[in-house]
Amino acid sequence: MSTSKTKDKYQIAVVPGDGIGQEVMKATIDVLDSLDIDFEYVYGEAGDECLEKNGTALPDETLDIIRQSDACLFGAAGETAADVIVKIRQEMKMFANLRPVKAYPHTNSLSDEIDFMIVRENTEGMYIADEEKYTDEGAIARRIITREAERRIIDYAFKYAVENNKSKVTAVHKANVLKKTDGLFKEIFYKVAENYPDIATEDFYVDATAMYLITQPESFEVIVTTNLFGDILSDEGAGLVGGLGLIPSANIGLDGALFEPVHGSAPDIAGKGIANPIAMMLSAVMMLRYLGENDAADKFDAAILKLLNDANTLTGDLGGNASTMDVAGEVIKNINGE
């Protein structure tokens, strides 16, 4: 998922959004500024507060900033999430959503051996929100699955496996019930798999996968699935490794990429300075790898791991009493070898 480094300076679109998005973004930017990389941050508005202020949750100016930047860091959106992050993905044709699920120390992980990637199709399925108006009988939503989009995301999952020394890709679907749409997904999966003879393959129904993530999470390496299923399974994955405060994500397209924590805006704790910024920070690590800044990514990642190993500066969700900015300060100290 990375590019080769070609620039001495990067323009980064920064969209903090709502609630704790603003707090975890500030903590993450502080850490990025401690690295030996030249970033130019261009800030954009989006989310609930933006809607209240400007009459739109996603101004054209923000989309333009994202289009013109080398990458985007996004914090969180509240009730307007569908009008913001889903629209950005669609407008920017960010077809691949990557959500790593990895066990870290002192995080109440179900198993220390959990380390897999969920590769989620990002542009179609149920999340196109193609819903008909309410009728006397109820409501109807259309689920769109196309050969082009599913072939693209499945091929991306196999390439990810090859590039990251993974030996198996698991397809997740519900083809026994959704025989046309998920039947097509399963058919394409095994067709694409023929191009990767060294990668083992398997497929499970989504409900069975939900169980296997609890009973045998160590057996997964790369999961590829459709939009809605990927969203649900990644939240379950967060529960396996200590919560949403530890799950980053990347949205990758042909012309851009956006990196965001999986957690939402958490209005119940917003403004208190106690939000866990690690998911946002790990999202920034993914951004650095995308930009080809692998040495900086390794340094940032190692600093987070040291913080979790030491377990002296943890936020409340991990059993500590540190603030959001306490975590940022400790990660910076670790980067600087203090």
276, two tokens: 């866990």
Catalytic residue among 166, 174, 186, 299: 174
Active site residue 301: no
Q: Comparing C-alpha atoms, which of 253, 281, 267 is closest to residue 80?
A: 267
Active site residue 231: yes
How far, in Å, CA of 215 to CA of 108, rounded? Answer: 16
What b/e string do you get for 136-171 counting C-beta neighbours within 10 Å, with b at 16 or more? eeeeeeebebeeebbebbbbbbbebbeeeebeebbb
Contact 296, 220 (CB under 8 A): no
191, two tokens: 């067709």
Chain centroid to Cα 55, Å, comes to 28
Catalytic residue among 48, 70, 182, 231: 231
The CA–CA distances, whole Å, from 77 to 47, 211, 213 equal 5, 30, 28
Active site residue 203: no
259, two tokens: 């990196």
Catalytic residue among 130, 207, 295, 310: 207
For residue 134, what is the DSSP state? Answer: P
The CA–CA distances, whole Å, from 301 to 296, 306, 332 equal 8, 9, 11
How far, in Å, CA of 40 to CA of 198, rounded? Answer: 42
Contact 195, 62 (CB under 8 A): no
Contact 144, 130 (CB under 8 A): yes
Catalytic residue among 235, 301, 306, 333: 235
What b/e string do you get for 9-29 counting C-beta neighbours within 10 Å, with b at 16 or more? ebebbbbbbbbbbbbbbbbbb
How far, in Å, CA of 89 to CA of 67, rounded? Answer: 11
Q: Where in 62-132 does DSSP place strands (E)?
A: 71-76, 96-102, 115-121
Return the active site residues. 127, 174, 207, 231, 235
